[in-house]
């Protein structure tokens, strides 16, 4: 019986994870807005700072934004002179987004404050707790990705079986 009290159920873990994520987003979004950027704009600048010039779709994959949201963010950042779009030299259909000098200087300062803001909150965790959380969250994320893929495959199988059954019924 004592062991059951030590066990954290999956729904309880999910609830704590979701609440912690929400609190962190609210904190970071507030800090980012205070520096004159929306969260999506900050995420675009941050990925360009760390990954270099990218296509809009590649940026979208990294920051998990829909295509329309990405285009809006890039438009806003371009109007502010923080990014520029250039044509790919090998394929003119592809547009590359890159930081301007002003954009690089801006995001370097904002990112340094972002790191400090995250450290203020994370100081409550020991280095060992950070390592355990990091590894645990990576495992959880991979397990969820596998479950999503398995679910998609299962849905395809059910659909295939349904189609075969319908064809057998018609024959």
Residue ranges per structural domain of the chain: 2-124, 126-171
Taking residue 136's Cβ as centre, other Cβ atoms within 10 Å add up to 11
Q: Is the pLDDT of residue 3 over 80?
A: no
DSSP labels, 55-66: EHHHHHHHHT--
Q: Is the pLDDT of residue 157 over 90?
A: no
Q: Is the pLDDT of residue 1 over 60?
A: no
Confidence of residue 158 (pLDDT cuts 50, 70, 90): low
Q: Which fold has domain 2-124?
A: Arc Repressor Mutant, subunit A (1.10.10)
Interval 17-68: pLDDT, tens: 999 999 999 999 998 898 889 889 999 999 999 999 999 889 988 988 887 8
- pLDDT at position 66 is 81
Kindly state the tokens that stand for 44.
């675009």
Contacts of 37 (CB under 8 A, 6+ apart): 45, 110
Q: How many Å apart are CA 83 and CA 104, to the nearest integer?
A: 9
Q: How many Å apart are CA 120 and CA 117, to the nearest integer?
A: 5
Q: How many Å apart are CA 16 and CA 105, to the nearest integer?
A: 37
- Complete edge-to-edge strand list for the sheet that includes strand 54-55: 54-55, 95-99, 83-87
The reported pTM is: 0.75
Range 115-135 burial, b when 16+ CB lie within 10 A, else e: eebeeeeeeeeeeeeeeeeee
Interval 67-126: pLDDT, tens: 788 889 999 999 999 999 999 888 878 899 999 999 999 999 999 999 999 999 999 999
């Amino acid at each position: 019986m004592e062991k059951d009290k030590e066990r954290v159920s999956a729904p309880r873990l999910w609830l704590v994870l979701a609440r912690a994520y929400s609190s962190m987003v609210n904190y970071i979004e507030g800090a980012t807005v205070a520096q004159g950027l929306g969260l999506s704009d900050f995420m675009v600048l941050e990925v360009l700072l760390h990954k270099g010039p990218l296509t809009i779709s590649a940026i979208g994959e990294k920051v998990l934004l829909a295509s329309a949201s990405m285009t809006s963010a890039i438009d806003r950042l371009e109007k502010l002179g923080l990014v520029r779009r250039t044509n790919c030299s090998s394929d003119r259909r592809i547009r590359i987004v890159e930081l301007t000098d002003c954009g690089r200087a801006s995001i370097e300062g904002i990112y340094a404050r972002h790191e400090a803001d995250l450290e203020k909150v994370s100081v409550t965790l020991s280095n060992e707790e950070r390592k355990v959380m990091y590894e645990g969250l990576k495992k959880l994320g991979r397990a969820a990705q596998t479950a999503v893929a398995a679910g998609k495959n299962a849905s395809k199988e059910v659909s295939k079986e349904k189609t075969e059954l319908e064809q057998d019924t018609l024959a």
